[in-house]
Structure 1
Amino acid sequence: MKPEDLELLVTRSMPYGKYKGRLIADLPGHYLNWFAREGFPQGEIGRLLMLMQEIDHNGLGRLLDPLRKKP
């Protein structure tokens, strides 16, 4: 993991699937867990989904709050 990956979680949107357009940081835990069971996609999106699943699984989602852009 690179420190920049945490910022990508709150700025990068899911590019496909049921939650297309939703920020990776806002994906529901059950969806992230599905990827953990079935396999993460290749490349950057897979790496970010894996990281977010670990954060969510360990109850650390609030750590991303300071990185979110305030309107």
Structure 2
Amino acid sequence: MQLQPDKDFLIKLAHTKMPFGKYKDRFLINLPEHYVVWYRNKGFPKGKLGEMLETVYTLKVNGLEDLIWNIKKQYPSK
């Protein structure tokens, strides 16, 4: 069984900005890696934001940020 990423989730992730804190209004994929690692060590928030930050962490650790940048180009926000 092969797991498929949720297309709608990734499109939403590509266009979601940090809603609070030092990096408020910065796209999640553009958050500094040290900040995302800090969240991982502290514990991601509950809910959709936490899921997105955890996904950003996984993408950054594996050098896959280009996937989200390409999604942003392919599916511009409305």
Q: Percent identity?
A: 36
What does 1:11-26 correspond to in 2, within 5 Å?
11-26=15-30
Normalised to the residue count of structure 1, the TM-score between the two structures is: 0.88
User: Deviation above 3 Å: which 4+ runs of structure 1?
Assistant: none
**What's the TM-score, normalizing by structure 2?**
0.81
Cα separation, 2, equivalents of 1:39 and 1:14: 16
| 1:61 corresponding residue in structure 2 | 65
Give deviations 1:13-48, integer Å, cap 9, x for gaps: 100111000011111110100011000000100000
RMSD of aligned alpha carbons: 1.4
In 1, the alpha carbon distance for the partners of 2:33 and 2:65 equals 10
In our comparison, the structure showing a higher alpha carbon Rg is 2
Aligned to 2:39: 35
Unaligned stretches of 5+ residues in structure 2: none
Q: Separation in 2 of the partners of 1:3 and 1:35?
A: 24
* 1:12 maps to amino acid: T
Shift of 1:65: 2.3
